[in-house]
Amino acid sequence: MTTKDEKTADVEKTATAEFLENKVVIFDDAEGNAVFKEKYFGKWIEEEKIKYLQLSLEESMILLERGLIEILVKKKPVDVKKFYTMCCKIDTEFPQKYTVYNNLRNRGFIVKSGFKFGTHFRVYDRGVNPYKGGPKETKEHTKYNVHAVPENHTMSYQEWSRYVRLSQNIRAKALLGVVDEEGDVTYYDIKRVRP
C-alpha cells in the first residue's frame, strides 16, 4: 500500500531526457508515461523496435523550468539558461513561440504542434484528451490554431489567407499570438468575412 507522500513523490519524479540534434527524447517508458499523461506532453514515436517519447523544444523548456525533466546534452545535464540559448540557435522564432506556448500552458490549455496545419500550435480546450479514440464525431477537435509573432512582424496577404483557410478547414479559430517587448501576449482572432 502506498501513502499519499509516495504517490506525490512519484508524480514529481524528474524524468531524464536526452537532447539529440534538434529534438528531446525520453527513452524510459515509465518516465515517458509520467510526462505524457500529465497534460499530454510529447508524442510517442516507434521506429526500428525502439519506442520513445519525443518532446518539442517548447515542451522541453517548460518541463525543464518546472523541474519535471532533466535534459542531458552529451551525457551532461544542462540548465534552463543554456537550454534556452540552444533552442534560440536551432529556431530563430523560439523566443516568441515559447512565450506564447508558456502562456497557453499556464492557462490550462493542451498545446500540440500545428506544423501540418501551417501554424505553430494546435490548441485544445482545458481538460480534453487530444488522443481520444473512436469515431471521428466523438474525437476532440482543435479549438484554436495559434501562430506566434513578435509585435513588429509583417505578413503578406497570401500568408494571412492560407493561415485562415487552413484553420477554417479543420473548424478551428485562427489566432495570432503577438508578443510585445515586455513579453506580454495579446491574441487576435483572424476571420474571413464574406460580404
Nearest C-alpha neighbor of 13 from the set 27, 40, 33:
33
- What pLDDT does 13 receive? 61
116's grid cell: 501540418
Q: Provide the H-helix boundaries in the chain.
A: 4-11, 29-37, 57-65, 80-90, 94-106, 157-169
Mean pLDDT estimate for the chain: 85
Residue pLDDT, tens place only, 127-183 = 777 766 666 555 677 889 999 999 988 877 777 777 777 777 778 888 999 999 999
Domain assignments of the chain as residue spans, ordered by start: 1-90, 92-195
Which pTM was predicted? 0.85
Helices (H) and strands (E) in the chain, counts: 6, 11
Residue pLDDT, tens place only, 54-91 = 999 999 999 999 999 999 999 999 999 999 999 999 99
Residue pLDDT, tens place only, 7-38 = 334 445 689 999 998 889 999 988 888 888 87
Cβ–Cβ under 8 Å, residues 116 and 146: no
d(CA 41, CA 65): 14
92-195 in CATH: which number?
3.40.1350.10
- What pLDDT does 3 receive? 42
Check if CATH label 3.40.1170.20 holds for domain 1-90: yes
- Is the CA virtual torsion 82, 178, 67, 10 positive or negative? negative
- Is the CA virtual torsion 13, 28, 26, 39 positive or negative? negative
